Amino acid sequence: MNTISTFKPKFSLKTKFLIWLILFIIGVMIVVYVYFSQHVTRVLAEEVKLRGETICKNLVSSAEDLLIMRDDLALAKLVYDTEQKNKGIVYCFVVDAENRIWAHTDLAMVNTLYETPKELHRLGSGSMLVQDYTTANGIPIFAIAMPIEVSATKIGEVHIGLSRASIQKAVAQSQIGIAVVASCILAVGIAGILLLVSFIIGSLGKITQDIAAIGNGDLDRPIETKRGDEIGRITSAVKTMAQKLKKAQAELIEKERIKREMQIAKEIQQSLLPRTLPQTKGFEIIGYYQAAQEVGGDYYDVVPIDDNRFAVVIGDVAGKGVAGSLVMAMVRSTIRAEAPSTPSPKSLITLAHRSLRQDIPEGMFMTIFCIVFDNSNDIIRYSCAGHNPAYFLRPQYDILHTLKPEGGPLGISFIEEDDYAAQLKEETHVFKTDDMLLLYTDGVTEAMNKQKEQFTESRLERIVRAPGATSPEKLKKMIVGSLQDFTGLAPQSDDITFVIVKRT
C-alpha cells in the first residue's frame, strides 16, 4: 500500500524567526552589558590611579625640604592636610631612606619602621608603584608609592592608599543603567520583530504554493507580486525559473537533435581518417587516434604517391569541434589530391597553406609533419610546419634523434605563399632496416592527470627508448598504457594521435 507523507513542521517559520531574533537580541544585550561594565571599571580605575599619581607628586614636592630638615611637625601637618583635602584617601605617610615613618595619618605609626605587607612589592628604584591591595580591615584600595629624591639620591618615600569603593559604586550604578536601557530595547525590539516577521513571512506562504505548483509541472501558473524587496526578488526568480523550465523543455528536443547531428559529424570525420593503414612492402605502419570531444581537430594519413613512394602526414588544428574537423578535411583533400604529382613534403605543405589561408577563420591555423618514404632506397624526406618533432629510433645502436626542420604553421592568412615556402625547410635522413619513426600531436605530451601535471616529452622519450619497444605494435601499447596510467580518471584535455613507422 502506497502512502503519501505530508511534511508538518514542529514550528512555523514565523515562530522560528521570532525565537532566533529574540535570542540574538538578548545575546547582543549581554555582550554590550559585559563590555560596558568592564569598560567603565577600566576607565574609572585609570582616573583614580591618575588622581593618586597627582596627589603623590604634590606630596613629594612639599615633603622634600621638610624631610631634609627632619621637620616632623610640618610633615605631620602635610599628611593630615592631604588626607582632609582628598576624598577617598585611606592612609597617607612619609618614610625616610631607612624606612622610618616621619608622618602618618595614624599617629600610632609615627617613628616606627615601615614593613612592606607581604601582599605588596617594594618600590625599589622605580619612579612610581601602583598596586591593588586589600587592607587588614578589608578595604580594597590602590596602594601608591613614589620616591622622594634629591640630586638623583633617594631620601625617602611617599605612600598613599586610595579607596576603590568609588569605582565599585560607579560600576554598580552603570550596570543598573545599562540593564534598564537593555530591557527597554529588548521590549521595543520584540514588538518591532513581531510586526516585521508578520510583514515578511506573510508573502512566503503564497510563494511556497507557487513553487510547489511549478514542481508539479504547472509551468503556466501566473506568479505576480508588487513587493520591491527580497521577497519580490524571490517571486521574480520563481517566475523566471518557471519560464526557463518551460524554455528548457522546448530546447531539450533541439539539443537531442544537435547531439544526433554531432554524432553524424563524428562518424563522417572518422570516415576521413584511414580505417586501415596501407602496408607497403618493407615498412610496418600503425596509427592511433582518440578525440577529446565528439569531433576533434587532429589528423593523420598515409597517402600513396607511386609504386615506390608514400607519404605519412600528421597534423593538429588550432581549434576543436566541428570547425577543427572541417579544416582537417580541407587539408586531407588537398594532400591526397596533390601527393601523386607533388612528392615533396615541402611542396605538399605549401600547397595546403595556399588552399587554407584564404578560407579558414581568422585565428585558426594547423601544424603538420609530413614524411615521404621510398622503399627503393634508405632515404626519407620530411618537412615540419610548426608541429611537434618526430622521434627517430635506431634500436640496435640505442640511438634516438628528434627531427624538426624549420617551418611555421600553415593557414595563417597574412603570410603569403612565397614567403611561407621560403621559411619552410625540407630535410633528408637515412632510414635503414629496424629503424622506427614516431610522429605525434601535442595531445600525447600534454595529456594531464587530476593534479594538472602534463605527460611531457621526457616520459614519451623514456617509453621510446624502453627495451620492449621493438615493434610499432608493442610501442603503441606501451604509449597508450602509460597515458592511461598517468591520466587515470582525469578527463581527456586534447586529441591524442600518433603514427609509428618501422623499416622491416
User: Do residues 453 and 427 lie in contact, with contact meaning Cβ atoms separated by under 8 Å?
Assistant: no
d(CA 254, CA 108): 108
Question: For position 18, what pLDDT does the model report?
Answer: 76
The 3 state secondary structure assigned to 343-381 is CCHHHHHHHHHHHHCCCCCCCCCEEEEEEEEECCCCEEE
User: Exposure of 354 by Cβ count < 10 A (0-12 exposed, 13-18 middle, 19+ buried)?
Assistant: middle
Q: Please check whether residues 116 and 223 belong to one and the same domain.
A: no
Task: Note whether residue 198 is domain-resident.
Answer: no
The packing angle between helices 321-338 and 230-272, to 10°, is 20
Q: What is the CATH number of the domain that holds 275?
A: 3.60.40.10
Q: Please check whether residues 239 and 315 belong to one and the same domain.
A: no
Question: For position 265, what pLDDT does the model report?
Answer: 66
User: Do residues 383 and 335 lie in contact, with contact meaning Cβ atoms separated by under 8 Å?
Assistant: no
Task: Note whether residue 2 is domain-resident.
Answer: no
Task: Note whether residue 46 is domain-resident.
Answer: yes
Q: Three-state SS for 86?
A: coil
Total domain count for the chain?
A: 3
Q: Which three cell numbers stand for residue 381?
A: 624526406
Q: Please check whether residues 484 and 449 belong to one and the same domain.
A: yes
Q: What is the CATH number of the domain that holds 219?
A: 1.10.8
User: Do residues 385 and 369 lie in contact, with contact meaning Cβ atoms separated by under 8 Å?
Assistant: yes
Q: Parallel, antiparallel, or unpaired: how do β-strands 309-317 and 390-394 relate?
A: unpaired
Q: Which domain holds residue 316?
A: 269-503
Q: Please check whether residues 116 and 152 belong to one and the same domain.
A: yes
User: Do residues 322 and 265 lie in contact, with contact meaning Cβ atoms separated by under 8 Å?
Assistant: yes
234: Cα separation from own chain's centroid: 30
Q: Which three cell numbers stand for residue 123?
A: 618600590
Q: Which three cell numbers stand for residue 422?
A: 621560403
**The cell 605587607 sits on which residue?**
117
312 phi and psi, to 5 degrees? -110, 125
d(CA 148, CA 155): 6
449 HSE (CA, 13 A, CB side): 12
Q: Would you say the pTM of this structure is higher than 0.75?
A: no
User: Do residues 369 and 382 lie in contact, with contact meaning Cβ atoms separated by under 8 Å?
Assistant: yes
pLDDT 10s digit of each residue in the chain, 504 long? 444 445 555 666 667 777 887 888 888 888 888 888 788 778 888 888 888 899 999 999 999 999 999 999 999 999 999 999 998 899 999 999 999 999 999 999 999 999 999 999 998 888 899 999 998 888 899 999 999 999 889 999 999 999 888 777 777 777 788 788 878 887 887 787 777 777 666 666 677 777 777 777 776 777 776 666 666 777 777 777 777 887 887 788 788 887 776 777 667 677 778 878 887 888 999 999 988 765 667 889 999 999 889 999 999 988 666 777 788 888 999 999 999 998 899 999 999 999 888 888 777 899 999 999 998 889 999 999 999 999 999 988 889 999 999 999 998 888 899 999 999 999 999 999 999 999 999 999 999 999 999 999 999 999 999 988 899 999 999 999 999 999 999 988 788 999 999 998
Q: Please check whether residues 30 and 148 belong to one and the same domain.
A: yes
Question: For position 143, what pLDDT does the model report?
Answer: 94
Q: Which three cell numbers stand for residue 202?
A: 506573510
User: Do residues 444 and 487 lie in contact, with contact meaning Cβ atoms separated by under 8 Å?
Assistant: no
Task: Note whether residue 191 is domain-resident.
Answer: no
Task: Note whether residue 377 is domain-resident.
Answer: yes
Which of the 8 DSSP states describes residue 107?
Answer: G
Q: What is the CATH number of the domain that holds 55?
A: 3.30.450.20
- Helix and strand numbers, DSSP H then E, in the chain: 11, 15
Q: Please check whether residues 121 and 219 belong to one and the same domain.
A: no
Q: Please check whether residues 280 and 238 belong to one and the same domain.
A: no
Task: Note whether residue 3 is domain-resident.
Answer: no
Question: For position 358, what pLDDT does the model report?
Answer: 81
Task: Note whether residue 196 is domain-resident.
Answer: no
Q: Please check whether residues 32 and 99 belong to one and the same domain.
A: yes
Q: Please check whether residues 433 and 339 belong to one and the same domain.
A: yes
d(CA 91, CA 159): 8
Q: Please check whether residues 339 and 385 belong to one and the same domain.
A: yes
Task: Note whether residue 345 is domain-resident.
Answer: yes
d(CA 153, CA 453): 76
d(CA 110, CA 73): 11
Q: Please check whether residues 354 and 443 belong to one and the same domain.
A: yes
Q: Please check whether residues 371 and 233 belong to one and the same domain.
A: no
User: Do residues 313 and 299 lie in contact, with contact meaning Cβ atoms separated by under 8 Å?
Assistant: yes
d(CA 122, CA 400): 87
Question: For position 455, what pLDDT does the model report?
Answer: 96
Tell me the β-bridge partners of 141: 133, 163
User: Do residues 496 and 289 lie in contact, with contact meaning Cβ atoms separated by under 8 Å?
Assistant: yes
